[in-house]
Homo-oligomer: A and B are copies of this chain.
Amino acid sequence: MKKVIVGLLGCGNIGSGVVKLIAQMREDIRRHYQLEIEVRRALVRSTEKKRIPEVPASILTNDPDQVLNDPDISVVLEFLGGEQPAADYMARALRAGKSVVTANKMALALHWPELQRAAEESGSGFYYEASVGGAMPIIRMLQSSLQANHITRLSAIINGTTNYLLTRMTDEGMDYQTVLADAQRLGLAEPDPAADVEGEDASYKLSILSSLAFHAHIPVSDIQREGMTHISQVDIKCAGDMGYVIKLVASASREEDVVDAFVSPVLVPKIHPLASVKGAFNAVYLHGHAFDDMMIYGRGAGSAPTASAIVSDLICAAQESNAASSTFEVVEGLSESVRMAQDRTCAFYLRLQVKDNPGVLAHVASCLSGQKVSVRALQQPQGSGDGAQITILTHPAAESSIRKAVSAFDAELVTVMNVLRVEE
């Protein structure tokens, strides 16, 4: 029986869930993995606050050094959240030769090179399965199951809040503000929802996934980002009529040494496996040259699924199997030369409000054809008060051409209500 002594940085909702799961699985972990886990110390803000019975007052401390400098502690679990001091503490722990397990996508994505180097140089294990997709083992898949592939594309629904909002908007015909207020009441959206609905959270996760998939660092700042607050019931209905659902998709693709990565609302065909991912569920769809298409689907958040991933990482760390650091040579990976795409080609959805004027369709068509954008489908539902509405699906076209075509529309005749990407 091997004993592993663990220190916690933070012990809120997630941390407590982890301690509870360790207690619950103690017997199984002994029997199946010959491991004895002791939670020795937990850094908290208040040592006075009453905790769950599995977190006795005797292990609480205000002093990070009690965790970071204790030579007996070999694995540090980080639950502080946010960028700092989490990133600094993790780097310190790694440099001190401790394994680190974290769910902190923000600190991880923003300090990727520094943290990966610290792990590699000290030979410490660095595990972050819980940082993306809750219990779904997408990190381990990329690190130790799909190595024999050139991964060319990943498309993911990795923000549960926005998927919950869009699912209810789609299924119940509610508008964004109403669903948001309801989700906030239910605790499914933050009082300030910006990090979710503006796609920030998804961009941190996409930075992590694409860096692993492409063996190169894809910084958050290189990810194009567009939120979902401008998606209206009209868009959802128009997309539905044409056979699509609107999802907030985090997408990254690589062709030779060019990488494209964005988070944005996307029209997904109803028959695509991602279209059936509803509510707070997450999914990652991957394409590789040998495995072809693959998808993993599961609960992307929540205390228990997150704890599932963290305790799994802890067991791996305790076994020193170091799947994480041994199968991804980071410093090497960081130096692999890729560049970000300046433009991208895909199909687009355009929703236009137009003057009820016989020449307007010809004008729109000519602006599009002027940029060699060809139309695949066009719908003109009955006009609303302000004139007519046109929705257009294009054939694949360069995004720059779409932008140019749109900017050529006569503002007297055409108001652009929305331009969205379409998944094929």
Are the CB atoms of A290 and B21 closer together than 8 Å? yes
Contacts of A140 in B (CB 8 A): 137, 140-141, 144-145
Are the CB atoms of B144 and A308 closer together than 8 Å? no
Q: Is A52 an interface residue (CB 8 A)?
A: no
Give the nearest-CB partner of A276 in chain B.
B276
Contacts of A332 in B (CB 8 A): 31-32
Are the CB atoms of B33 and A327 closer together than 8 Å? yes
A291 to B21, CA, bound (A): 11
Contacts of A298 in B (CB 8 A): 291-295
Binary CB contact string for chain A from 314 to 334 against chain B (1 if under 8 A, 0 otherwise): 011001011100111100110
Are the CB atoms of B296 and A295 closer together than 8 Å? yes
Number of chain A residues whose Cβ lies closer than 8 Å to a Cβ of chain B = 58
Are the CB atoms of A215 and B32 closer together than 8 Å? yes
Binary CB contact string for chain A from 325 to 350 against chain B (1 if under 8 A, 0 otherwise): 01111001100100000000000000
Contacts of A323 in B (CB 8 A): 144, 321, 323
Are the CB atoms of A294 and B297 closer together than 8 Å? yes
Contacts of A293 in B (CB 8 A): 298-299
Contacts of A137 in B (CB 8 A): 137, 140-141, 145-146
Are the CB atoms of B135 and A292 closer together than 8 Å? yes
Q: Is A62 an interface residue (CB 8 A)?
A: no
Are the CB atoms of A290 and B135 closer together than 8 Å? yes
| CB within 8 Å of B: which A285-306 residues | 288-299, 302, 304-305
- Quick one: given A144-B140, A319-B327, A332-B32, are A134 and B312 in contact (CB under 8 Å)? no
Q: Is A311 an interface residue (CB 8 A)?
A: yes
| CB within 8 Å of B: which A204-225 residues | 215
In-complex Cβ contact of A315 among B147, B305, B316 (8 A): B147
| CB within 8 Å of B: which A254-292 residues | 273, 276, 288-292
A224 → B minimal CB distance (Å): 27
Binary CB contact string for chain A from 110 to 153 against chain B (1 if under 8 A, 0 otherwise): 00000000000000000001000011110011001111111000
Q: Is A392 an interface residue (CB 8 A)?
A: no
In-complex Cβ contact of A304 among B273, B292, B312 (8 A): B292
- Quick one: given A321-B322, A327-B319, are A147 and B292 in contact (CB under 8 Å)? no
Give the nearest-CB partner of A135 in chain B.
B291
Q: Is A307 an interface residue (CB 8 A)?
A: yes
A338 → B minimal CB distance (Å): 13
Are the CB atoms of B32 and A329 closer together than 8 Å? yes
Looking at A28, A291, A293, A299, the one whose CB has the most chain B CB atoms below 10 A away is A291
Binary CB contact string for chain A from 43 to 73 against chain B (1 if under 8 A, 0 otherwise): 0000000000000000000000000000000
Binary CB contact string for chain A from 29 to 40 against chain B (1 if under 8 A, 0 otherwise): 101111000000
Contacts of A299 in B (CB 8 A): 291-294
Are the CB atoms of A308 and B129 closer together than 8 Å? no
In-complex Cβ contact of A333 among B25, B32, B333 (8 A): B32
Looking at A146, A148, A305, the one whose CB has the most chain B CB atoms below 10 A away is A148
Looking at A144, A298, A326, the one whose CB has the most chain B CB atoms below 10 A away is A144
Contacts of A31 in B (CB 8 A): 215, 329, 332, 336
A244 → B minimal CB distance (Å): 16
A160 → B minimal CB distance (Å): 12
A37 to B134, CA, bound (A): 35
Additional A-B contacts beyond A31-B215, A291-B305, A291-B308 (20; CB < 8 A): A32-B328, A32-B329, A129-B145, A135-B146, A135-B288, A135-B290, A135-B292, A135-B294, A137-B146, A140-B141, A144-B321, A146-B312, A290-B307, A292-B304, A293-B298, A293-B299, A294-B296, A294-B298, A295-B295, A297-B297
What would 10 A/B residue contacts be, using CB atoms closer than 8 Å?
A32-B327, A32-B328, A32-B329, A32-B332, A140-B140, A144-B312, A144-B321, A148-B308, A290-B308, A316-B327
